[in-house]
Structure 1
Amino acid sequence: MRNLSVTTFIHILFSIAIIILVTTFILFLSWDRDRQKIEEFKHYQLISVTFLSNLQRHPGDERLQELYKELQLKPLSDEGASILKKRIENSGETIFTGGSALGKVRVFDIKGKRYIYIQRMEYNLMLVDDREEKYYFEIAVSLGVFLTVLLLLLYVAVLRKLYPLRTLHKEIQRFAKGDLNTKVTYKYDDEIGKIAQSFDNAIRHINQLSASKNLFMRNIMHELKTPITKGRIIVEMLEDVQSKKVLVRAFERMNELINELAQIERVTTQSFEPSLEYTSLKEVVQRTRELLINESDHMSIEVKDVALITDVNLLALALKNLMDNGIKYSTDKHVHLKSIDCGLEVSSRGKALQHPLSYYIEPFSQEEKRSSGFGLGLYIVNAILEKLGYMLDYRYEEGNNIFSVLTENHCPIK
């Protein structure tokens, strides 16, 4: 029940309510029909006993009139009785037969009208049931239909009231997929309207924060690039080789940090979409080599020429970061890239990671004893692979740290 949607829950709830109402209504009609039959039987039995016992005493017209009034009956004239007898023969239905040694009573139904025929020696009375017609059955049917229609109208009203939630859900999905121009509107000031308004305010606030962040990142990277470039030029003029080497490395690391921040801003933007193209694995590896042009002596590559559809630049950047990390943190400063059935593996000698992979794919995460790097490499790799629909896996085997780029969803994670 907890995982049911609100709409499904309402469907089930109203369906059960309607079934219960209709079942109760049918049972009530059945009970009411039986009750009416019992009441009619008792009424005609009372007529039979009362008239036959009174006719035995040869009552006068006055007494008969009292009986007619008391039992709500109306006598027919001889002419009317003779006509009625013919109608009874043609279309009459006997619904009650009673009597005793004193006489006989029969009740006929002709098109909903009840006629009582009483025979007692010289008495042959044809009477009409003059009771007021009761509309219990019709009232019950009308009430049942009214309640069912009312419940259906309430059902439709509730669904219409909840319908804006679907629209709100679609707008939230559009925003989650990166459409930052999503605008949520709802004209009523009820709870759904307040939620829609709050969400619209949140979208505008997030857009403002995103714009401010982008502006800040661009400005700070631009402002940092200039002094780094000037400092790098000035360092080249120093005669002290040792100081020059330390300062050059410091400026290079600052430049690397700026480049990594720029990559993070680009890849992690919600609206960013990779540029997919039909290419080969060797083309991706060649692009990776170009990014690691100064590290060619520290890596070995063993890949098959496999065709794939991907963003060459993004995948090459991810492989570059994995191989760069392998070279930096391996004990022999060497990294090996090879192709596997489900993608690629990057392996290097070294100690096993102290934390699960999920720890290192967070920004600025690194081993406590490592001083080089900013902890952004695996974060960038994972962000790129998620954009491409790939997965990153890690295992440690025989002294090797092995990172796998799984390019197929059905590949098992080891």
Structure 2
Amino acid sequence: MKKYSIFFTINIIFLISLLLISVSFALLYGVNKQKEKHFNYKRDIEITKIFMHQYRESSVSDELLEYMKNLGFSVILDAGEIENILTSKKLKSREFKSNRAFKIRYLELGENRYIFVQTPREKIILTSHSISSDGKNIILIAYAVIFLIFILLYLSIINKLKPLKILQESVKKFGNENFDLECMTSNKDEISQLANEFHKAAQKLKKLQESRNVFIRNIMHELKTPITKGNFLTRLPQTEENVESMQKVFYRLESLIKEFASIEELISTKKELEKKSYFLEDIIDNAMDILMCEEDSVAKEFENIKIDVDFTLFSIAVKNLLDNGIKYSKDKKVVVKADKNMLVFESIGQKLSYELQNYFEPFFKGDNSTSAQSFGLGLYIVKHVLDAHSLHLKYEYKNGVNKFIIELDF
């Protein structure tokens, strides 16, 4: 982790803070322990004085032993046990009272505390049972709670900053014109919102780039036919018929330019549709004019119903369906059928090699397609046009006939 990283700085801050909190609690615990030790020492001294007063009157009687037990002290009279304690190498000793008759020392052996009493008659050791206050437990519990809260806070902050790392990698990809970014998050904080907005912007640019690719490839594909025809007509004598054919070529080129603009606008932005009620035959005829196909290539087997569509865009979708049907059918013909519920394009040919959804991807071509015939954009454009109209395209294959069906849900 780089030292100038935000994550490095946060880790250092949390580490130092945690260290300071731990040291503070350790000092507080130590102070509390010293207070408790001092309290027990004072208590031991006072109870030893009571013991000595009672001992002078009745020596070590059963009543005195019971009394000391009630005060939290045990009385050791066994000489061997006393000798073991006194000869221990880890024993700490300090004398706090002595005279000619008595000698009293305060002993510490590990966590155990003893009071050694030397009398003219015998040796006695009082074992002190510590009285532990709740202070240390409260300090430990408080430290555990604060430590847990601190860790949870740290994890929460790191989790909220995670989108920054993802966003950093996404920006690198973005700089290389790779718009396939995954920086979306369900969090609601400002960093997450920034990552989400960046993701949305990248998706818009991806769509725009995609539309540009479609636009360019569609131009290359669609302009090929009229340019070829125009080039051929320039070599023929300038008869009235040839001039008329040349005018049709220029009309076709003009129509293509308008079509390209509509497609580019539809794919790259949310185009507002200009929907009106049009006769289906007018739409089919317009699509045939754009396609520049022969009249006998399209058989119209429908009543001339009216449908509410954007005339220009829907004509483009119909043109692509007619083009696919003519291009890939065995007899180079398409039959158009319709009723109030559906518009059907039928052609005799091979069944699609893949599921229909695959052909909705740009530049996808099936096994029965060649690069010279198609750029794999026809159904991609159809899908976008129908989506804009909230319509759906279905595919069926029966008895050697391909059927592309637009469900007219008006």
Provide TM-score, normalisation by structure 1.
Answer: 0.45
Provide TM-score, normalisation by structure 2.
Answer: 0.45
